Amino acid sequence: MQIARDDASSIGINLYAGHLSESDDAVVFNTGWSGTLGFNLLGGEEPFESWRLLAEPARDGLEAASRPENQRLDSFDDFKNILFATAAYEAAWKASSFEAGAVAAYELARFIAFMQTRRLLPSNDAYLRSIAAQIEINLANDNWLGLVKDVAAFSPAISPAVNLMADVGPANFLDMMRSAYEGQALLWQTKHAQFQDAAYAFFSPMSAQQREGIGARMLPMEQEQLVRMARSDVDVRNALQALSALSVDTAAVGLDTSHLQIYDAQSGTGRLTERWLQDRAAFLIAQTQELQQGNGSVLRDPQRLRYYDMGSEQEVLQGFGSHRRQIVFGAAGGSDLQGQGFDDRLYGGDEADRLEGKGGSDYLDGGQGHDTYVLSSDDSGVDTIVDIDGDGHLEVDGSAISGVYKRHHSQSTSYYSADGRTRIDVLPNGVHTQSQGPEGQAGAAGRHTLGVYRLDGTQWRQLARVLDWKDQGLGLQLSDELGEPERHVVTQGGDLYYDTFEAADRPVQISTGDKRDYVNGSAFSDHISLGESHDIALAGLGNDFIDGGAGGDFILAGPDVREPGASANDHDVLVGGAGRDKLKGGAGDDVLYAMAMEDDIDSEGTATGDWLLGGSGDDTLHGSRAGDVLNGGAGNDRIRGGHGGDVILGDGGLESQNKYVTLDIGQPGYWDIDPITGQPIYVPPQTPGREYQWDAARAQYRARQVQSVVILNGPSLRWTMDTSSASNYTVSPLLGWHGGQEVRLEDGGGNDWIEAGAGDDWVAGQTGDDELHGGEGNDVLYGDDAVAMPEGSEGNDRLFAGAGR
């Protein structure tokens, strides 16, 4: 009370010169406070006795407390004192101005001008008049706190805090202090008229020593800096949780911070993801800007966003317009979080939440508890799901999906529901089955990134990707048990016959001999093993597994994407094996291996390797040890080149021409071209051919000798290539292009991941958002392509050169 009376007297004597009313309540309002800002500035020497607000003379001694180096705003008590001083200044100035009026404004302007120039300016000075005009504008707008910022500018230690208090108002700043102290967002709870009672109720239970023992600091209102601090400082994370521009020492307060630990994908521990830190920091900054601009105002910004905290009902609108991307944080007791059809970001709490993006590529972070992630086949975009404890489930088109998902064959990375309508893919992320945590963290062993797909007619549509999934998380169990049908088995050996197999009415398992064979698979899931010559295999429908074995082969996985009846529900595995092969994927998500699956493709091999074309769907292509031609085709593809100088096109459709030769029975020997060496070879007189036709009545193949057989001509497997030019690659098939047209870019290209491997590779990601890794060797990498692409097809690509130049 004595300090308050002294300060009130000082301002009355030095500034208002007798204009302060005897009945003024500034003294009462200032009761028990450590001094007010304006009063301190009127007396003393630099640093203008601001130490009275920041230090403890009774504890540290008067001389020590007055040193500039001890005048730090670093405790809860310091902020309390500054807050009280700012509020008292407002009350004192407002009360006295009723009598002082324009005289008071002019005298304050004279004081401010003196402090800035160290000269007493005459009344007609232009600079003095400009200051007085600004003060009068503040008064006309009833902005009493606007004046305190000019005064506080002379005390650098406290100026930033005073500026924020003046901008947001004492009541809101008190709520920020309460929020940080209690660890929850409490803004808007204290009204301006309630400030005095609310401040007394909050601070009075704490002694000055307790308040002084609680560290506190102002936080920077810059997102990158704020996130960087939050990564390593739990006090800052508490402030973000509380939406407070002030952080406090949570240990000194005794707050439980177990729910504020950073999520670590390696260990699977923690709660807060990097994306949460970024969005919460942006929310706090936007909220502070809104308070400074005026509560309820819409922030000007080209982005249209809505930040909303369901627990505290705090909301900030950014950008004008009714359609806004939603960034929503759930309440503590479980919430129903919904997007608005854009790329929304929804964050659950620690109980059972329901998260529904409603269109767009949404980010759904359920937090802890049994959360429900709602997906729909009608939505556009692919949602990203982060469920840190795995305790939840997915809901697609109104039905929960869970239970056991089985593979169709042992090499598949796709798993299917019992009804065949839902597919779960284990997606590679640089390392083939390693998980990817949020924001690209490498995941722990035993965790994976999943793709969730739904069958829409004949096409598979990706609905979501689940980051850092562990077995049985979200109620999903991926079983190694094969969901395969019983197959009719036919095994041929030796080299007596050219075999031709026609399609059966059931799944088949066929092993051919060593002559040049021609196999048509069934409309079901077949296993076909070819011999050691140059064979042809057309897989047909179904999820087929075809192993080319030794020799140069042409293998087609299911119907061509251009053919009627081609189905996206057709996932084949093609293995070229030894020799120069041509493998072509079909309409589904296929896996193509140029060599045997167990072979090391990264060791050095021959000059020219294999030709792989993924077709439509999200395909995975594995090259060979030699120089390959690898085309992803349409869809989001994964391509590994292996050793050798490869030509890799993320969305390419390069397909060379095939030539077929009909051999008559008893044909004499003839000369052919070896597909590997290019040298002439003698083909001895032909042995008989056999055609296997399916007998539905007996449920078996019936063989008959035929007068002629169709084989693949050697030149079909010959081409030359050059990857040395940065401006373009060269690929020249001996027989030219399929259909007479070189298709460099397929329609429907997607976001591809490409690892070129060792060798001098030529790589183009083409359309979509691609990720390219050059590896060893002198590589040429294009995120798009060296030639012009269709307008609007370019993406945001990431290129990693690796060793070499």
Query: In this predicted model, what pLDDT tens digit does every residue of 678-707 receive, in sequence order?
Result: 788 877 766 667 888 888 888 888 888 777
Q: What is the per-residue pLDDT for 151? A: 67
pLDDT, tens only, 513-557: 888 888 888 877 888 999 888 889 898 887 889 999 888 899 998
Average pLDDT, the chain: 80
Q: Hey, what's the torsion of the CAs at 363, 367, 373, 379, to 10 degrees?
A: -10
Residues 445 and 505 grouped into a single domain: no
Q: What is the mean pLDDT of residues 474-482?
A: 83
Which structural domain, as residue segments, surrounds residue 104?
Answer: 2-168
Structural domain includes residue 453: yes
pLDDT, tens only, 573-619: 999 988 899 999 987 889 999 998 888 888 877 767 899 999 888 89
Residues 596 and 537 grouped into a single domain: yes
pLDDT at 34 over 50: no
Give the residue with greater pLDDT, 612 vs 28.
Answer: 612
d(CA 533, CA 247): 74
Residues 125 and 158 grouped into a single domain: yes
Report in angstroms the alpha-carbon separations of 354 from 397, 419, 752, 774: 14, 25, 32, 42
pLDDT at 791 over 90: no
Structural domain includes residue 183: no
Q: What is the per-residue pLDDT for 17? A: 39
Under 8 Å CB-to-CB from 126, ≥6 apart: which residues? none
Give the residue with greater pLDDT, 100 vs 579.
Answer: 579
Structural domain includes residue 689: yes
- Of 108-117, 294-303, 649-658, the range with the lowest mean pLDDT is 108-117
pLDDT at 310 over 90: yes
pLDDT at 197 over 60: yes
Residue 657, Cβ density class (10 Å: 0-12 exposed, 13-18 middle, ≥19 buried): middle
d(CA 508, CA 692): 12
Domain C-terminal end among 168, 194, 213: 168
Q: What is the per-residue pLDDT for 555? A: 92
Residues 463 and 489 grouped into a single domain: no
Structural domain includes residue 218: no
pLDDT at 456 over 90: no
Residues 504 and 388 grouped into a single domain: no
Whether the full predicted model's pTM is greater than 0.85, yes or no, is no
Structural domain includes residue 270: no
Give the residue with greater pLDDT, 150 vs 480.
Answer: 480
Question: Which pair of tokens denotes residue 561?
Answer: 């994407």
* Overall domain count for the chain: 3
pLDDT at 13 over 80: no
Q: What is the per-residue pLDDT for 287? A: 94
Q: What is the per-residue pLDDT for 578? A: 87
d(CA 687, CA 680): 21
Domain C-terminal end among 168, 200, 217: 168
Question: Could you tell me how many helices (H) and strands (E) the chain has, helices first?
Answer: 18, 48
Structural domain includes residue 37: yes
Nearest to 611 by CA among 731, 759, 521, 755: 731
Residues 752 and 635 grouped into a single domain: yes
In the chain, pLDDT over 90 holds for what percent of residues?
35
Give the residue with greater pLDDT, 324 vs 670.
Answer: 324
Structural domain includes residue 271: no
d(CA 639, CA 635): 12
Q: Is the dihedral of CA 662, 667, 668, 669 positive or negative?
A: positive
pLDDT at 433 over 50: no
Residues 672 and 722 grouped into a single domain: yes
- Of 58-62, 130-134, 255-259, 514-518, the range with the lowest mean pLDDT is 58-62
**384 falls in which pLDDT band (50, 70, 90)?**
very high
Domain C-terminal end among 455, 482, 509: 482
Nearest to 355 by CA among 375, 326, 376, 379: 375
Residues 428 and 451 grouped into a single domain: yes
Instruction: Name the phi and psi angles at 612, rounded to 5.
Output: -120, 135
Residues 452 and 423 grouped into a single domain: yes
Residues 474 and 514 grouped into a single domain: no
159 neighbors 115 (Cβ within 8 angstroms): no
Structural domain includes residue 298: no
Residues 755 and 616 grouped into a single domain: yes
d(CA 230, CA 706): 77
Residues 459 and 491 grouped into a single domain: no
